[in-house]
Amino acid sequence: MEYAFWDSSAIVSLCIQHQTKPIVRGLISRYKIAVWWATPVEIHGAIERLRRAGEITASEHAGALVEAAFFRGGWREMTPYDAVRDEAEQMLDRFPLKAADALQLAAALSWCNGKPQGRAFISGDAQLLRVAENLGFQTITA
């Protein structure tokens, strides 16, 4: 099984059973997970926002945190270093991205050694997917 770079939005959808699309379930059986170092914080934040907004029950909240921990135990995590930060800053000059999205993409480029052709980038964020495709990734909507 090959790796794909997964944005936090795609992983959150895996963690919340009633929100998981069939396509995402298929992706997890096809691709191992590579993520950015801050992805666990983004996932936790998203799960907590859903709980506070009443979009998931207490049971679903607990289950989502367990699922997130399970996935975290097996993924490959790209750690922060100066080159990732520098690449993210350059992306902000080139694309209409939020800082966190620029860091995600910079980490994805680091993960594939700056050669995104033929490498999968999975996200539920349309804008992030557009920029990833522009950079040369094979984009997959979660």
Tens-digit pLDDT profile for residues 6-49? 999 999 999 987 666 778 888 999 999 999 999 999 999 999 99
Q: How many CB atoms lie within 10 A of CB 107?
A: 24
Q: What pLDDT does residue 20 have?
A: 65
Is residue 53's pLDDT more than 80?
A: yes
- What is the average per-residue pLDDT within 105-125? 96
**Residue-averaged pLDDT of the chain:** 94
Q: What pLDDT does residue 1 have?
A: 87
- What is the average per-residue pLDDT within 42-64? 96
Residue 118, domain CATH: 3.40.50.1010
Comparing CA positions, the residue from 6, 3, 13 lying closest to residue 128 is 6
Find the domain containing 73 and state its range: 2-141
Please calculate the CA angle 60-68-96 and round it to the nearest 5 degrees: 105
How many domains are contained in the chain? 1
